[in-house]
Amino acid sequence: MFYIEKLKLTNFRCYKDKRINFKPHVNIIVGENAVGKTSLVEAIYCLGLTKSYKASKDSFLIKHDQPFYVLEGEFVNQERKHNVLLSYEIDKSRKRLLVDNNVVKKLSDYIGTFKVVMFSPDDSELIKGYSPQRRRFLDIYLGQINNKYLKDLSNYNKVLKNRNELLKQTNQSEQDLELLKIYSEALVKYGKNLIIEREKFINMLNPEVAKISLAISNGEEKTELKYMPNVENEEFMLKTFRQLKKDLYLQTTGLGPHKDDFLFTIKGVDAASFASQGQQRTSSIALKLGLASLFDKLGLDNIVILDDVFSELDKERQNEIMKLFKNNKQIFITTTTIKAINEELLESSNVIKIEREEKDE
């Protein structure tokens, strides 16, 4: 079994100094609006992913007018305890990660050690929003299960940056053009790995999402994913070289997985164009629950966080969701009222009440 047992937040979001203990199974975090429920689960996410899913800068995570934040988590994995400390200091722009008191130099080496699958109310935007959000989704979750993917991604992004810089120069020399050729080859090499892994991942995820979407919509609304690579693997090299003149003219790399996308269909119809708000919500929930189910299937222990999802699902659907999880799994559920939660679930859960006055103690 894998779970987080203890969490300490210092100057993180609305928390000045808070310690909190969790139970291995279901933890329900209850409190009024703006008391800090999301901040609490965001902290757990940050300990797993080394950054937030919503703050674009680490400085946003620091409590207002404070110089730093520190998060400390105690994880239990196969009965062994591990400490993770993540901190960020604003004046030095310094981020630090310590695992069992050892400094981790490259954060990407750590990603995937403690896996977290998180549903956030903003997830509905994944369906109708812009493609960068969907690529981010792929990178976050594929990155947690495949460290080589993260390395390929980092190399790809470096090459892309160099190539774009070179394309932006005016009057490239012979040497520059030679270098451009080398960059193009590297771009295709790393890019192909990304395309292969993304395709595999979506193919694995798809049946899980389909199954769960049916389970939470009375068998009515099947959600499926379709990978839309910007360029097919077999044509990537040829097209990149054919496109060179255009790239030089437009001063940017027009082709490659940095422009990939995937789309959602509900009952076979494109969800971005036709899905109602409720349908978007159901599909985005199915996406994250499908992920957790895939991780489980692959034998990859993970913590599931459901921020503000249960309160909007009727008790029957909550039941359907809980049936999807194995018993030996840690799940966090946030809600403003426990009245909305299925009684049976409530009885077997650890309920954590967050009070308003606690946050500024």
Residues between 20 and 39 that touch Mg ion (CB under 5 A): 37-38
Q: Which is nearer to Mg ion, 116 or 271 (CB)?
A: 116
Q: Is the dihedral of CA 349, 355, 360, 361 positive or negative?
A: negative
- The least distance separating ligand ATP from the CB of residue 321, rounded to whole angstroms, comes to 20
Q: Which does 35 bind (CB under 5 to 8 A by kind): ligand ATP, Mg ion, none?
A: ligand ATP
Considering the rule CB under 6 A, would residue 64 count as an interface residue with ligand ATP? yes
Identity at 325, one-letter amino acid code: F
DSSP assignment string, 217-282: TTT---EEEEEE-SS-HHHHHHHHHHTHHHHHHHTS--SSGGG-EEEEEETTEEHHHH--HHHHHH
Rounded to 5 degrees, φ, ψ at 83 are -100, 135
Here's the x/- map for Mg ion, 36-75, by CB under 5 A: it reads as: -xx-------------------------------------
Alpha helices in the chain (DSSP H): 37-49, 107-110, 125-128, 131-145, 147-168, 174-215, 233-242, 244-250, 271-274, 277-297, 315-324, 343-347
Considering the rule CB under 5 A, would residue 10 count as an interface residue with Mg ion? no
Binds ligand ATP (CB under 6 A): choice among 17, 23, 34, 339: 34
Q: Is the Cβ–Cβ distance between 42 and 334 less than 8 Å?
A: no
Reduced to 3 states (helix: H, G, I; strand: E, B; else coil), residue 308 is coil
Binds ligand ATP (CB under 6 A): choice among 18, 51, 63, 135: 63
Q: Which stretch binds ligand ATP (CB under 6 A): 56-64, 225-233, 264-272, 287-295?
A: 56-64
Residue 182 CA: distances (Å) to CA of 189, 235, 240: 11, 18, 12
Q: Which does 336 bind (CB under 5 to 8 A by kind): ligand ATP, Mg ion, none?
A: ligand ATP
- The least distance separating Mg ion from the CB of residue 42, rounded to whole angstroms, comes to 9
Q: Which is nearer to ligand ATP, 34 or 269 (CB)?
A: 34
Q: Which does 222 bind (CB under 5 to 8 A by kind): Mg ion, ligand ATP, none?
A: none
Binding site residues, ligand ATP, CB under 6 A? 13-14, 31, 33-39, 60, 62-64, 308, 336
Binding site residues, Mg ion, CB under 5 A? 37-38
